[in-house]
Structure 1
Amino acid sequence: MSVAKLQVAHAVTPEGVIDDAVITIEEGRIVSVEAGGSGGTLWAVPGFVDSHTHGAVGVAFGDPDVEANLRAIDFHRHQGSTTIFASTVTEPIEKLERQLGVLRGLVEKGDLDGIHLEGPFLAPEKKGAHDLALLRHPDDESVERLIAAGGPALKMITMAPELENSEKAIKRFTEAGVAVAFGHSDADDKTTAQAVEWGAKITTHLFNAMRPVHHREPGPVPVLLVDDRVMVELICDGIHLQPVIAAMAIEAAGPDRVGLVTDAMSATGKGDGRYLLGELEVDVLDGTARLVTADGTPGAIAGSTLTMKNAFAFVVQEAGVSIPDAARMAATTPAAFHGLDQVGQLTPGRLADICLVDDEGVLQGVIRRGEWIVEPA
């Protein structure tokens, strides 16, 4: 059902919070956001932008079954993600080309908003849940094949900049309109800074799959936190990052450079059990996904079962973030860094993608393109 006028207690806009707001919507777009309503208790914030998610409900994005991909998309939309980049994992180039073909079709139809390649140009030392046997250097042929297969739908690629030929590859992806993300890297602080100079402007899940901070060997984290050209992704699920670390990163970088992401894998919305992530088996126990190892010991964390709904509530309740700042990190900042100028703000002319949350940051309603996805109870 279409929404014509939405009355809320507070609307988070680029100019600030408007209390007792009325949001007028026509043909799926915001016409105005003005004071003068009597809208109860809920906050209106921009629809969430998840630029790093691998799937849900038993489906990995890139599955050759288009309908399966749509089921995963629908699940995430119900969790507030009105804009979604589908992420892949490390696979042979031929398989990635096939996955890009499936996902590119969904972007062209408007079901997805972009594609993110996480790999295969990652460091073996920081492979995380990626198949060691399939990691590779960014040779010219592989780079060109991925750019060609993804076309304008390919929005981001995660790379380790210390690999051979990385400078050329980072500059080539950037030239092609693909945002390069520093990640799954064993680089030190100097190589990290070089990568930013070459064009890297995103950080894939800050802290995870990179060197830790040390007072004599700083590693990448301090470099990425203080460089105004870089957005840092945070997986705020209480597993990848403790609340105090999330709060520290948000304080250091500021909400205008932090993007909340889920890194959600196929188990999201499905429950505990055994799943595949790329070519590797993963066990999910109590919502935590870890690689299956030969000796039965817990393996590396393998993505998450997080939703943007829960990430938003986490930063409000556990990291002490205000709802306007949480809205920037969940929508405005990732939209800006990825050049998505139709979403990410409650402002006239933009698409009417809106999430409704309560004072605790708990999701109560979702509107996408002016249509209800989830109506408040």
Structure 2
Amino acid sequence: MWIVTLMDLSKTQVKAIDYATEQPVVMDIENGFIQSIEPVLLQEHEKSELAIVAPGLIDLQINGYAGCDFNQGSMPEDLVGNVIRMLWREGVTTSYPTLITNSDEAITQGLEAIARACEEDPVAAAGIAGIHLEGPFISPHDGARGAHSLRYIKAPEWELFCRWQEAAGGRIRLLTLSPEWPGSGDFILRCSESGVTVSIGHTSAASEQIQEAVACGARMSTHLGNGAQLSLPRHPNYIWEQLAQESLWSCLIADGFHLPDQILKVVLKVKGDKAVLVSDAVSISGLAPGAYTSHIGGNVVLTPEGRLHMAENEQLLAGSAQMQLWGIEHLLNRGIASLADAWNMASLGPASCMNLSSAAGLSPGAPADFVLFSKEGSRLRVEQTFKSGECVFKRNSLHH
């Protein structure tokens, strides 16, 4: 279903259907970069045999995968690199491992473990564009804090953050906080000036506090519409305010469980290219349906439909168990977005937001991080994943 020609060890040629134009193209890859991409004339029967090519997916918020948890007490040495490798089968070529609210020591240990993996494993170094620290500078209020432990939530501390950044080897690139704390504006300004993208999330901030945060450099909203109180003032409230801030990018969990379709539609209409998909997946993602124990939610259940809920109350979600590919399928199958637009929300959008070179997509000079996939009914199936021009995953292949 796809044509990949190895010209020599550093050169590859790919013939596929461009996800955006839906036309056949030939893409030449050399030394890890796209050298050229040109249309090619083919008969209809030849086109039907080709896979679809699209940029690699970029996940700004992922807590773990396939039983591996970035937030567990002491990570095995190979855990981080193994997760990066396993994510290839989901079409994810770049990610931001996410550490959530915890004790100062536990956060330090997690940051050090990820930094060590990047220093010792070239695959981890290439696949991790930065670390996402989600907390502990978030709202202490029930609902807004979500599943984050109230015990460790605190006001922003610049000296503490600097110590964490040192432990991470400078790799904290994304920080989720709530600007409701006194002094948040100055803290956000310092983060922004140091090259860290600040995202508003798990917040109960007033509109004026959100406005100040944006003025000081906040650029994103973390899983907008989730990590929120069940009841909010009709207006104003912190969801309306974040939607109204034109410079804020909106991250969305589009698994069909976290947000209803009408909310997804509204955010896409308001934000356009500044709406991006994240998985926010926990370690149970990638596992079979069943009952599990989570260090955050305790006893949880993953249903055959893909919904993860608390065992004692199925009305309460216990995190996301689906990847970005699932979110793309949901937007496509519900008629909320086209394939190209939905795919861009999980690839070019995150890359643009974080100023990554892969924002160039499928164009000459761009990194050769891309996916070959096929459509099977309502599902999208990853056939091959390429990282820096190398095929790192091939479906039905034991060697990847």
TM-score normalised to the size of structure 1?
0.89
Q: CA, structure 1 residues 361+45, in 2 after alignment: closer, same or farther (shift >3 Å)?
A: farther
Question: Does residue 147 of structure 1 match 2:194?
Answer: no
Separation in structure 1 between the aligned mates of residue 234 and residue 16 of structure 2, nearest angstrom: 50
Question: Deviation of residue 166 (structure 1)?
Answer: 1.4
Question: Does residue 193 of structure 1 match 2:211?
Answer: yes
Equivalent residues of 1:48, 1:344 under 8 A apart: no
Q: CA, structure 1 residues 157+291, in 2 after alignment: closer, same or farther (shift >3 Å)?
A: farther
Secondary structure at the counterpart of residue 138 of structure 1? coil
Equivalent residues of 1:211, 1:220 under 8 A apart: no
Question: Deviation of residue 116 (structure 1)?
Answer: 0.2
Equivalent residues of 1:90, 1:118 under 8 A apart: yes
Q: Which residue of 298, 302, 305 corresponds with 1:285?
A: 302
Secondary structure at the counterpart of residue 210 of structure 1? coil
Residue of structure 2 equivalent to 1:48: 57
Aligned length: 368
Question: Does residue 241 of structure 1 match 2:252?
Answer: no
Separation in structure 1 between the aligned mates of residue 395 and residue 164 of structure 2, nearest angstrom: 42
Separation in structure 1 between the aligned mates of residue 302 and residue 293 of structure 2, nearest angstrom: 11
Residue of structure 1 equivalent to 2:278: 261
Secondary structure at the counterpart of residue 320 of structure 1? coil
Residue of structure 1 equivalent to 2:235: 217
Equivalent residues of 1:91, 1:134 under 8 A apart: yes
Letter in 2 for 1:115: I
Separation in structure 2 between the aligned mates of residue 276 and residue 148 of structure 1, nearest angstrom: 29
Residue of structure 2 equivalent to 1:29: 33
Question: Does residue 158 of structure 1 match 2:167?
Answer: no
Q: CA, structure 1 residues 56+220, in 2 after alignment: closer, same or farther (shift >3 Å)?
A: same
CA distances 1:74-97 after superposition (whole Å, capped 9, x unpaired): 222210111111001111112111
Question: Deviation of residue 158 (structure 1)?
Answer: 0.5
Equivalent residues of 1:333, 1:344 under 8 A apart: no
Secondary structure at the counterpart of residue 170 of structure 2? helix
Letter in 1 for 2:361: Q
Secondary structure at the counterpart of residue 206 of structure 1? coil
- The structure with the larger Rg is 2
Separation in structure 1 between the aligned mates of residue 229 and residue 298 of structure 2, nearest angstrom: 25
Q: CA, structure 1 residues 313+299, in 2 after alignment: closer, same or farther (shift >3 Å)?
A: closer
Question: Deviation of residue 303 (structure 1)?
Answer: 2.3
Question: Does residue 101 of structure 1 match 2:112?
Answer: yes
Secondary structure at the counterpart of residue 88 of structure 1? strand
Residue of structure 1 equivalent to 2:15: 7
Separation in structure 1 between the aligned mates of residue 349 and residue 173 of structure 2, nearest angstrom: 15
Question: Does residue 320 of structure 1 match 2:336?
Answer: yes
Residue of structure 1 equivalent to 2:99: 88
Residue of structure 2 equivalent to 1:372: 391
TM-score normalised to the size of structure 2?
0.85
Secondary structure at the counterpart of residue 252 of structure 1? helix
Question: Deviation of residue 73 (structure 1)?
Answer: 1.9
Q: Which residue of 333, 337, 344 corresponds with 2:349?
A: 333
Q: Which residue of 82, 88, 96 corresponds with 1:77?
A: 88
Letter in 2 for 1:306: Q
Identity %, equivalent residues: 27
CA distances 1:109-167 after superposition (whole Å, capped 9, x unpaired): 32422100011111111111111111111123322222222233111010010013312
Question: Deviation of residue 319 (structure 1)?
Answer: 4.2
Secondary structure at the counterpart of residue 157 of structure 1? strand
Equivalent residues of 1:147, 1:173 under 8 A apart: no
Letter in 2 for 1:231: W
Separation in structure 2 between the aligned mates of residue 169 and residue 223 of structure 1, nearest angstrom: 20
Question: Deviation of residue 228 (structure 1)?
Answer: 3.0
CA distances 1:309-364 after superposition (whole Å, capped 9, x unpaired): 21111111124311221122111111011111145611111111112344656133
**Higher relative contact order (Cα pairs below 8 Å, separated by 6+ residues):** 1
Q: CA, structure 1 residues 83+213, in 2 after alignment: closer, same or farther (shift >3 Å)?
A: farther
Separation in structure 1 between the aligned mates of residue 38 and residue 116 of structure 2, nearest angstrom: 38
